[in-house]
Amino acid sequence: MKADRLITECRLATMTEGGAAYGAIEDGAILIQDGRIIWVGPRADLPEHEAAQIDRLDGSWVTPGLVDCHTHLVFGGNRSGEFEQRLNGATYEEIARAGGGIVSSMTATRAASEDELYASAVARLEGLKATGVTTVEVKSGYGLDRDAELKMLRVARRIGREAGVRVRTSYLGLHAVPPEHRAERSAYVDLAIEDILPAAQAEGLVDAVDAYCEPIAFSDAEVSRLFEKARALGLPVKLHADQLSDGGGAALAARYGALSADHIEHSSEAGVRAMGEADVVAVLLPGAYLMLRETTPPPIALLRRHGVEMAVATDCNPGTSPVASMTAALTLACVQFRLTPEEALTGATRHAAKALGLSDEIGTLEVGKAADLAVWDVTRPAELCYWLGKPILNARYVSGVPV
C-alpha cells in the first residue's frame, strides 16, 4: 500500500459510533494518500506500506479536525458598546429595537471592503484554528442588501481558498429587516428571496440557506417562503430556532428536513420530537447563552430522549457570541448544558459534520474521509473540554497536510 504520509505513535479518538468511548485506539496509526485516509487502526495491524513521509507523534492524541458548524465570522466592526449596555441592564431585544444589534453590524459591514472584511475575519479565525478547527461554516446576514450579502459570501469563499480551513457558506438574508425597508417589510422579504438568493446561487456562493425565526426577526410564513425557494434551487436549509421564545422553529425546521435547528433553548417537546423524526441536528450554542446571560438552557434531556443528535458550535459573531475558541465552546457546553465530554466532542466532530451535510467527508477518522486531523497535547480526550484557555493543540492537518 503506497501512502503520501504515515501518522504513527499516537492515540486516536476516531469519534466513530459504537465500540470504545470516543472510538479510541490507544496505539494507532493512519495512512494518508491524496488527502484522504486509506487506512486507520491499531499500529500493530498496519498493512505493508510505503510512506513518503512519516510523522511520529510521541503518544499525542489525534482527533478529527474540529468542525465549527455555526459562525458569523465575516462582519465589519464590533459591538463591544452593546456588551456594556447589556451589562448595564439593557436586553438584546431592547438594543435591537433601538437600531442596534444586527443593524449596527450591517452598517459597518456595508462600509467595509472585501479586503477589510477578509482581514478581520482571518484574524478571528486564528482563534478557531488554534483550538483545532479545520472546517468552519460562515453565514452572510450582515449585509442585508444585494451587494453587501454577495460581498460577504465572496469573502467566505476566499477564506476557504486561502486561510487553511474548509468553509461551508450559508445565505442568511432573513436575519433582520434593514432600516431602509422598515416601512415596507414585505419588499425586503421579496428582495431577499427572489433577488439576492438566486444571485448568490448563480455565482456559486451558497451551500445552504438559513433564517432567523423569532418575533423580533422573521415569521414562520416568511421563513417558509424562503425555504420553498431554497428547495426549488436545490439547496439545503437550516434555522436559527426558538432562541428567545418558543415560536415553533424546531417544528418548522423538521417540516423542511433542515440540516439543523440552532439555539433551540425554548423548543417544546413536540418540536424536539419532530426534529428526531426528521433527523434534524440540534446545534447548541453555549457562547450566546453565556453572553446573553440566559437562564433557560436547551432541552438536553428531551433531545436525548427523542434521539436528536447534538452538535456544538461557537456562534462566533459581533453581538451575542464574540467567541473565537472551539475548545471554550466545548467547555461551556459541558458546564452550562451538562453535556458529557464525549457528547461535546462528538458534537464538534461527527454531529457537526452532519449539521453541514458533510458526514461522508469529515467528522470521523475513517477510511475514505478527508484527512483533516487535530493533534493534541493531552492525556485523555476529556481534556479538550476541561481546560479553559490553556493551549493544548500541537498541530492541524487539512487534507493530510500540516497547516
Give the DSSP per-residue string, 151-198. Answer: HHHHHHHHHHHHSSSEEEEEEEEETB--GGGGGGHHHHHHHIIIIIHH
Q: Confirm if 312 and 348 have CB atoms less than 8 A apart.
A: yes
The H or E element that residue 344 is part of is helix 341-347
pLDDT of residue 246 exceeding 80: yes
Show the cell assigned to 186.
Answer: 414585505
- Three-state secondary structure call for residue 44: helix
**Whole-number Å distance between alpha carbons of 109 and 281:** 30
175 is in an annotated binding site: yes
**Mean pLDDT rounded to a whole number for the chain:** 97
Alpha-carbon dihedral sign for residues 164, 323, 238, 220:
negative
**Whole-number Å distance between alpha carbons of 76 and 84:** 19
pLDDT of residue 94 exceeding 90: no
317 is in an annotated binding site: yes
pLDDT of residue 99 exceeding 80: no
Confidence of residue 65 (pLDDT cuts 50, 70, 90): very high
Show the cell assigned to 296.
Answer: 433557560
Amino acid letter, residue 87 = L
pLDDT of residue 123 exceeding 90: yes
Q: Is 242 exposed, middle or buried (0-12, 13-18, 19+ CB in 10 A)?
A: buried
- pLDDT single digits (tens) 286-325: 999 999 889 999 999 999 999 999 999 999 999 999 999 9
70 is in an annotated binding site: yes
pLDDT of residue 102 exceeding 90: no
Q: Confirm if 79 and 71 have CB atoms less than 8 A apart.
A: no
195 is in an annotated binding site: no
DSSP assignments along 90-112, one per residue = --HHHHHHTT-THHHHHHHHHHS
DSSP 257: T
pLDDT of residue 380 exceeding 90: yes
Residue in 244, 241, 313 with CA at minimum distance from that of residue 278: 241
Show the cell assigned to 50.
Answer: 510505503
Confidence of residue 146 (pLDDT cuts 50, 70, 90): very high
Q: Is 138 exposed, middle or buried (0-12, 13-18, 19+ CB in 10 A)?
A: buried
The mean pLDDT value for 9-13 works out to 98
Q: Confirm if 75 and 172 have CB atoms less than 8 A apart.
A: no
315 is in an annotated binding site: yes
Helix, strand, coil % in the chain, rounded to nearest 5:
40, 25, 35
The mean pLDDT value for 354-367 works out to 98
Entry pTM: 0.97
319 is in an annotated binding site: yes
142 is in an annotated binding site: yes
Confidence of residue 96 (pLDDT cuts 50, 70, 90): confident
pLDDT of residue 186 exceeding 80: yes
φ, ψ dihedrals at 284, nearest 5°: -90, 135
Neighbouring residues of 6: CB distance < 8 A, sequence distance ≥ 6: 29, 30, 31, 32, 49, 51, 53, 54, 55
The mean pLDDT value for 258-284 works out to 98
